[in-house]
Amino acid sequence: MCRIRVVIWKATLQIYKFDISRKRIVKPNILLPLNQHKNLPEYQGLSVPLWFQYQKQGKDVEKVKQRLAEIANYVDKFYRALNIRVALVGLEVWSDSDKCPVTQDPFTTLHEFLDWRKLKLLPQRPHDNAQLISGVYFQGTTIGMAPIMSMCTAEQSGGIVMDHSDNPLGAAVTLAHELGHNFGMNHDTPERGCGCRVTADRGGCIMTPSTGYPFPTVFSSCSKKDLLVSLEKGVGMCLFNMPEVKVLYGGQKCGNGYVEEGEECDCGDLEECMNPCCNASTCTLKGNAVCAHGQCCEDCQLKPAGTPCRESSNSCDLPEFCTGSDPHCPANVYLHDGHACHSVDGHCYNGICQTHEQQCITLWGQGAKPAPGICFERVNSAGDPYGNCGKDSKGSFAKCEERDAKCGKIQCQGGANRPVIGTNAVSIETNIPLQEGGRILCRGTHVYLGDDMPDPGLVLTGTKCGENMMCLNRQCQNVSVFGVHECSAKCSGRGVCNNKKNCHCEAHWAPPFCDKAGFGGSVDSGPMRLADSESVKVGIVVAFLCLLCVGMIVCIKRKTLAGLFISNKKNTIEKLRPNSPGHTFSTNQTHAGTHTHSACRASPQCQAPAISQSASIYKVCVCMCLFVSDFV
């Protein structure tokens, strides 16, 4: 017996949707930490070849990093055909001990790794998916394992991969395969009739149930369809965020297709660049170009604020709009966890509306529906492979408490005669007698999708299990744990709370609290609507009227001041003129008239009309200006 000290290699990548034709990011951001684990088994027979494989790297961490960088480059190449890019942004070596238990049992290893990721890795470094690359030989024929349709979830967005070949292409294909399961891709089985442009003797396609040599390097038509369906359902909500790519692993390089620190744009090398806004040799903008990449960049200029750049993909997603100051569409936002789904009887979780009905349709096809509650209660109270609430810490099947029954194995009625997913599906039918007589048929499943996929027959996390209740960790819990009601309360009844805990306001109300007039949206999504061109015209006219009013006021006041000056001057002259007896009547008459005029000027009653006119004009102008402020 021998044990060799564990060495774990960890690579960090970012994956994002990429529009190859325009060389611009369209659905970005999936952060992908990987761990490579070279642990020897507890029997001497396999210790030598694995040790030699490690020796081949000369115990040189840099060579290990180069190997992982090569694996990442292969995966990037595979996914480009699906408009997805993979970018290696960092590497980390664990040289002391495992950070999570890694054994030959792939189910246990996957469970432990995903738990470690959620509890340890996510809080330290937010990311969207994690893959463990291990040197341990798993039991049976398994060389990798990953939950299906789990991309971006906190609990299950990840997988495990065995580094089974001296050629890094082998691990790269397995990694791409398991990542495909996270995306929602199923195996390319014969009954699916998948189109693969590479024959089996030349490797076939990546999602083939079992792979050999030569290794596959392309995706089938089924994989592309599965990916599209998953994205439409809301899987991978985190993929729409712009990745933080400042400097890629290996150093900054103009021409790699990634806009790194110090670059204004990057459209690839000179041969592949077709972007009219970007200088491929210098990674700078051309001429009067303001932007070169992004959904909010058109003809090298920014699109106006309020231009839609990403529509909502499902009943739990929210749309995004251009801000007018950034060429990229704002990061994807969706309804707060626990929020009621729009038009669907369910709750939102990670941007998806999970329901028992949708799961039954996935397993049994159209016409399937959830079985009555008594089916969940009776079957899942058994605590066996066919009815349970998952496994406990000892690896044994756990019985469901009555309140948690709808969070165990899914129970359905109707649909096809056998499950429509997988090739080795076991139909589990249970007849339950009713007190009033008769029986009720409950249909459960145990679906074997291959050595690399856990049984999907368990109710998905986030599924509604009661009024204001949701399945979390195989327990039926109140959605209040997410604080969704407190968050929504601050939106003044004119908006909803998004996953950033900010209000997404209705079209005519302004964030952050939807309590003032505005253009809708949120501080995260951008304004929902464009400023009306007529509003701008009216605003200009009103502004002109305001200026005209101010000019009139100034003009009136100037005339008034001029009148005062002339009148005062006349009074002074009259006072200085000598009182001649021959002109007493005339002088007194003039003086009296002048005195009367002076008295009238000094009297508030006489001046009231002039002041009132100025005041009324001033009030009208103020009202108009306030109107412009509110309107614009």
* pLDDT for position 586: 40
Q: Which of 306-310, 432-436, 534-538 has the lowest mean pLDDT?
A: 534-538
What pLDDT is recorded for position 506?
94
Q: Residue 627: pLDDT above 60?
A: no
How long, in residues, is the chain? 632
Residue 589 has pLDDT above 60, yes or no: no
Residue 19 has what pLDDT? 33
Residue 441 neighbours by CB distance under 10 Å = 14
Q: Which residues pair with 166 in a beta bridge?
A: none
CB of 150 within 8 A of CB of 184?
no
| pLDDT-based confidence at residue 37 (cuts at 50, 70, 90) | very low
Percent of the chain past pLDDT 90, that is, above it, reads: 38
**Residue ranges of the alpha helices (H) in 354-478?**
356-364, 373-380
∠ CA(544), CA(550), CA(554), 5° rounding?
145
Q: Which residue has the higher pLDDT, 538 or 150?
A: 150
Q: What is the pLDDT of residue 12?
A: 39
pLDDT band at 601 (very low <50, low <70, confident <90, very high): very low
Please report the pLDDT score of residue 57 as a whole number. Answer: 54
pLDDT at position 563 is 61
CA angle 467, 484, 460 (to 5 degrees): 55
Whole-angstrom Cα distance, residue 581 to residue 567? 25
Q: Which residue in 62, 112, 155, 178 is the catalytic one?
A: 178
Tell whether residue 187 is among the known ligand binding residues: yes
Mean model confidence pLDDT for the chain = 76
Place of tokens 């990548």: 13
Predicted confidence at residue 54, as pLDDT, reads 38
Residue 6 confidence (pLDDT) above 90? no
Write down the pLDDT at residue 282: 95
Model confidence, pTM: 0.67
Q: Which of 22-36, 359-373, 568-582, 583-597 has the highest mean pLDDT?
A: 359-373
- Mean pLDDT, rounded, for 505-531: 91
590 pLDDT exceeds 60?
A: no
pLDDT, average across residues 298-314 = 94
- Work out the burial of residue 521: count CB atoms within 10 Å of its CB; fewer than 13 is exposed, 13-18 middle, 19 or more buried: buried
Q: What is the pLDDT of residue 191?
A: 77
Q: Which of 302-306, 546-550, 585-589 has the lowest mean pLDDT?
A: 585-589
Phi-psi group of 399: left, alpha or beta (phi > 0 → left; psi -120 to 50 → alpha; rest → beta): beta
Give the closest residue to 410 by CA, choosing from 340, 470, 460, 366.
460
Pick the range with the lowest mean pLDDT from 17-31, 87-101, 119-133, 547-561: 17-31
| pLDDT, tens digit (0-9, with 9 covering 90-100), for 206-219 | 999 887 889 999 99
**pLDDT exceeds 70 at position 592:** no
For the cut 50, the answer to whether the pLDDT of residue 1 exceeds it is no
Amino acid, single-letter form, for residue 270: L
Per-residue pLDDT at 309 exceeds 70: yes
CB 224 within 8 A of CB 197: no
DSSP 311-332: ---STTB--EE--SS-SSPPPP
3-state secondary structure of 182: helix
Over residues 169-205, the pLDDT tens digits come to 999 999 999 999 999 998 888 878 899 999 988 999 9
- The fold adopted by the segment(s) 7-190+234-239 is Collagenase (Catalytic Domain) (3.40.390)
Cα-based distances in Å from 419 to 366, 430, 445, 456: 11, 15, 7, 11
- Summarised one tens digit per residue, pLDDT across range 546-585 is 677 666 776 666 656 556 555 554 554 454 445 444 444 4
Q: Tell me which DSSP letter residue 172 carries.
A: H
pLDDT digits (tens, 9 = 90+) for 315-368: 999 999 999 999 999 989 999 999 999 888 999 998 999 999 999 998 898 999
Q: Is the pLDDT of residue 221 over 90?
A: yes
**Residue written as token pair 């692993």:** 249
Q: What is the pLDDT of residue 513?
A: 96
- For residue 106, give both structure tokens: 């792939």
Task: Say yes or no to pLDDT of 630 above 70.
Answer: no
For 339, phi and psi rounded to 5 degrees?
-70, 145
Q: 59, exposed or middle or buried, with CB in 10 Å at 0-12, 13-18, 19+? A: exposed
Mean pLDDT on 375-401: 89
Q: Is 178 a catalytic residue?
A: yes
Listed residue (7, 101, 1, 9) closest to 41, CA to CA: 1
Say which residue the tokens 């009905």 belong to. Answer: 357
Please give the Cα distance from 296 to 24 (Å, whole number).
11
Residue 517 confidence (pLDDT) above 70: yes
pLDDT-derived band at 491, boundaries 50, 70, 90: very high
Q: What is the pLDDT of residue 450?
A: 57
Q: According to the model, what pLDDT value does residue 223 have? A: 95
How do strand 278-279 and strand 297-298 relate by DSSP bridges? Answer: unpaired
Q: Say yes or no to pLDDT of 402 above 60.
A: yes
pLDDT in tens, 68-84: 788 888 988 998 899 88
